[in-house]
Amino acid sequence: MTATSQDHTKPERHPQYPSLFAPLDLGFTTLRNRVLMGSMHTGLEDRARDFPKLAAYFAERAAGGVGLIVTGGFSPNLVGWLKPFASKLSWPWEVRKHRLVTDAVHAHGAKICLQLLHAGRYAYHPLSVAPSKLKSPINPFTPRALSGRGVDRHIDAYANAARLARDGGYDGVEVMGSEGYLINEFLSARTNRRNDAWGGSVERRMRFATEIVRRVREACGPDFIVIYRLSMLELVPDGSDWGEIVTQAKAIEAAGATIINTGIGWHEARIPTIATSVPRAAFAGVTAKLRPHVALPLVATNRINMPDVAERILADGGADLVSMARPLLADPEWVNKAHTGKAHAINTCIACNQACLDHVFENKAASCLVNPRACAETELNYEATPSPRRIAVVGAGPAGLACATVAAGRGHHVTLFDAADEIGGQFNLAKRIPGKEEFHETLRYFEHRIRETGVAVRLSTRVDAATLQGFDIVVLATGVTPRPVDFAGADHAKVVSYLDVLTGRVIPGKQVAIVGAGGIGFDVAEYLVHHGVSPTLEPARWMSEWGIDRDFESPGGLARAEPELPARRVWLLQRSAGRPGARLGKTTGWIHRAALKAKQVKMLGGVEYLGVTDAGLAIRIDDAEQVLPVDHVVICAGQESQRELLPALLAQAIPVHVIGGADVAVELDAKRAIAQASRLAAAL
Ligand code: FAD
Ligand code: NAP
Ligand code: SF4
């Protein structure tokens, strides 16, 4: 047990988070606190050879104090694979490798359940099955409709997989009944058009789910945790209404579940449910609405990332546990830090999806933008250095901050310079974008780490080669400068840079053209169309904007979207043909595009810039010329590396490393900057 871990022998009332740290007695077993690590596919589940890495990943979270872990999804049979050769548990010889995981977790006092997930019509392969032959809008494969015997065989498969999970040492299973996967497809009239014993009325549609829970309980006995993930807010047309959801919850309770977890939104829903622009705990009210209807412990989910948020949900009585998946990827010590009154030391998940979900969708192993060690616990370790050096890190953007704090944490003597009067580099611009408020948390975390590791910080110091005399090693993390444009009128008074706008040096007029539709162009557009407080900080406004029924009563929980009028008229332009935003993150790009569309932003591709005059920005698209009558043209045309210090340093023969934007500006993002910096610092 580490110095910071919880003393589980004395379940005394925690002074700050009494609800979060109250043990939960399930009758046959007790969870040490109310934190459930939610299921998340990492890519390590798919191959037996990755199980040692998976075990190390979960062991760190268990040592970090979490009460109950749920693994990524394992299919109970081959046709339920998420993709070919994805994780599955259906044969006895597949059990042994799981012992590595369960033993590792139990050694640290946590409990672990295996998630049973049959992909249904979301399966990305031609063998997919579903209640009815209806293709999902987000998958090219059309599923085969299960026969009545096929349904029976599937229920058997769930019971068999649960039994194998118990043999593998798991404390229970989570039956995935939400997000639009197979069980959810049976539950919903949207995807279940059967007229046999498994379709039609809500009672017949939910029979598949209740039979699975009943048979899993029967197969595994009374002292086995059975979590059921219930689709409580579907956010798709023709989804279940509230009456149906309550009926389903009661039936699941009667069938023998131990805990009901909350599922929000199908994957094909066009409303964001976990992105950074979603307000914290935006959907906790759904779980609270179900609370009076069942006696089982309920789990609240989605965008719960800090202990005060979790405590409030539990203390208000809206749920009995809180689920966090990505926040524990970001910081395995989250629970211990909360327990020891160090919430300020938490490396907070900023809900960017860039290294976790986006990676999974790109068939890469998951990691975390703010914690590159996530899922790399066996190979990226920040061990104490045997030979401390004097290291200068120039630039306190994400790259410099990560490098300086990891190196100092290992015992090096680090001085961190920045020309600005605050740390953060471009994150100080990112945090000003409505919907990116979480970026403040990363800067708060680094401020803490600077203090904790003893980095000496020199702000308001523009460094030259002379300043760096006497250091053993120099790390250049000087970032980027905006790329200039060369069309006619680029020096006109109307033309400004994103730096001018986001720092407040220029307040653009009512009509604005943005040149460049990359991540920064989209963010600047978001900044320009909003007025007042960010909707992310006002959940009721956010729900109205996206069309969510605030009473959660209607079918699918949908209401008419009522976006507020934009603060400005904005054109977002790019030279390449096609839809602007096509290169944005896989799981978040559609959100940015939909948000700007709702604000009537004109997004145009295939644009030729003819020039800026007093009349505005002249452009040509497909041989048709027009003048956009804008007050300002904001240039967001990418960046170039800033490393003019390098030649002088090389001439002085000081060992120099170049990282982040200073190294490569093209396709730079904070994920690459932090990962490169951390790996360098681990090797210095
Ligand atoms: P920078 O952040 O540019 O930091 C460089 C630092 O070096 C600066 O603080 C500068 O003052 C300092 N410096 C330069 N020269 C000197 C000198 N001679 N002496 C002393 N100090 C010096 N990335 C994402 O991954 N996800 C996002 O959602 C995202 N959103 C963004 C939104 C906006 C509006 C912007 C502008 C950027 C966004 N980014 C995002 C990009 C991300 O911020 C950058 O990729 C990242 O900041 C690059 O880190 P860096 O440390 O290499 O450089
Ligand atoms: P970017 O993504 O490279 O986009 C630059 C844009 O400018 C492109 O639309 C490009 O498209 C255009 N452009 C390039 N050269 C031009 C020129 N000479 N004249 C006119 N237009 C030109 O860069 P960015 O938007 O500055 O973003 C920087 C990095 O920050 C990105 O790599 C991104 O990963 C990261 N970021 C991420 C997020 C996020 O939400 N994940 C948000 C913000 C930033 P055309 O050539 O087609 O015109
Ligand atoms: Fe959270 Fe982003 Fe890390 Fe994913 S990559 S866990 S969303 S901070």
- Percent of the residues in the chain that have a pLDDT greater than 90, as a whole number: 94
Is residue 74 helix, strand or coil? Answer: strand
Q: pLDDT band for 342, please (50, 70, 90 cuts).
A: very high
Ligand 3: atom nearest CA of 371 is 3
Maximum Cα interatomic distance, the chain, rounded to a whole number of Å = 81
- What pLDDT, in 10s, does the model give residues 261-271? 999 999 999 99
What CATH number does residue 439 fall under? 3.40.50.720
Is residue 545 in some structural domain? no
Residue 649 included in any domain:
no
Residue bearing the CA closest to ligand 3, atom 8: 349
List, for residues 355-367, the tens digit of each pLDDT value: 999 999 888 989 9
CA-closest candidate to residue 219, choices 257, 162, 154, 153 = 162
96 shares its domain with 211: yes
Confidence of residue 586 (pLDDT cuts 50, 70, 90): confident
Q: Is residue 338 part of a domain?
A: yes
Can you give the CATH number for the domain in which 576 is found? 3.50.50.60
- Give ligand 3 pocket residues (Cβ under 6 A): 326, 329-330, 349-356, 368-370
Q: Tell me, what CATH number does 251's domain have?
A: 3.20.20.70
Task: Kindly state whether residue 382 falls inside one of the protein's structural domains.
Answer: no
Ligand 2 lined by 389 (C-beta under 6 Å): no
Q: How confident is the model at residue 91 (pLDDT cuts 50, 70, 90)?
A: very high
Confidence bin at 170 (pLDDT 50/70/90): very high
Of 361, 380, 405, at which residue does a domain stop?
361
- Residue whose CB lies within 8 A of the most ligand 2 atoms, among 359, 574, 592, 633, for a mutation test: 574
pLDDT tens-place string over residues 431-474: 999 999 999 999 999 999 999 999 999 999 999 988 898 999 99
CA of 522 to the centre of ligand 2 (A): 9
Query: Within 6 Å (CB) of ligand 1, which residues are found?
Result: 352, 354, 394-400, 417-420, 425-427, 429-430, 433, 462-463, 477-480, 502, 519-520, 523, 642, 645, 660-661, 668-671, 673
pLDDT digits (tens, 9 = 90+) for 548-571: 999 999 999 999 999 999 999 999
- pLDDT, one tens digit per residue, over 513-541 is 999 999 999 999 999 999 999 999 999 99
Residues 155 and 249 in one domain: yes
Ligand approaching nearest to the C-alpha of 370: 3
* 309 and 448 housed in the same domain: no
Q: Does residue 461 sit in the same domain as residue 489?
A: no
Q: Which residue shows structure tokens 């060369």?
A: 486
pTM, two decimals, is 0.95
**How many structural domains compose the chain?**
3
- Burial call 138-177: b when 16+ CB within 10 Å, e when fewer: ebeeebbebeeeebeebbebbbbbbbbbbebbbbbbbbbb
Question: Running DSSP on this structure, what letter comes out for residue 621?
Answer: E
Q: Give 11's pLDDT tier (boundaries 50, 70, 90).
A: low
In terms of domains, do 586 and 675 share one?
no
Residues 440 and 491 in one domain: no
Among all residues, which ones are annotated catalytic? 181
**Quick one: how far is CA 520 from the chain centroid?**
19
Q: Is residue 40 part of a domain?
A: yes
Rounded CA separation 180/134 (Å)? 13
The mean pLDDT of 5-12, rounded to a whole number, is 56
Residue 437 lies in a domain: yes
Residue 1 has pLDDT above 50, yes or no: no
Half-sphere exposure (Cβ direction) of 197: Cα atoms closer than 13 Å = 10
Burial of 377-404, coded b for 16+ CB within 10 Å and e otherwise, reads beebeeeeeeeeeebbbbbbbbbbbbbb
Mean pLDDT of 105-124: 97
Q: Is the domain of 437 the same as that of 292?
A: no
424 and 500 in a single domain? The answer is no
Residues 456, 605 within the same domain: no
Could you identify the atom of ligand 3 that is nearest to the CA of residue 367? Answer: 5
Name the token pair of 175: 């039956």
Mean pLDDT value across the chain: 95
Residue 137 lies in a domain: yes
Same domain, 97 and 217: yes
Mind listing the pLDDT tens digit for each residue in 651-663?
888 899 999 999 9
On whether the CB atoms of residues 245 and 290 are closer than 8 A, the answer is yes
Q: Distance from first CA to last CA of the chain, Å, rounded?
A: 29
Q: Is residue 504 located within the same domain as residue 586?
A: yes
For residue 547, being part of any structural domain is answered with no
Q: Are residues 314 and 171 in the same domain?
A: yes
What would the two tokens of residue 237 be? 């047309």
Enclosing domain of residue 624: 484-530+566-637
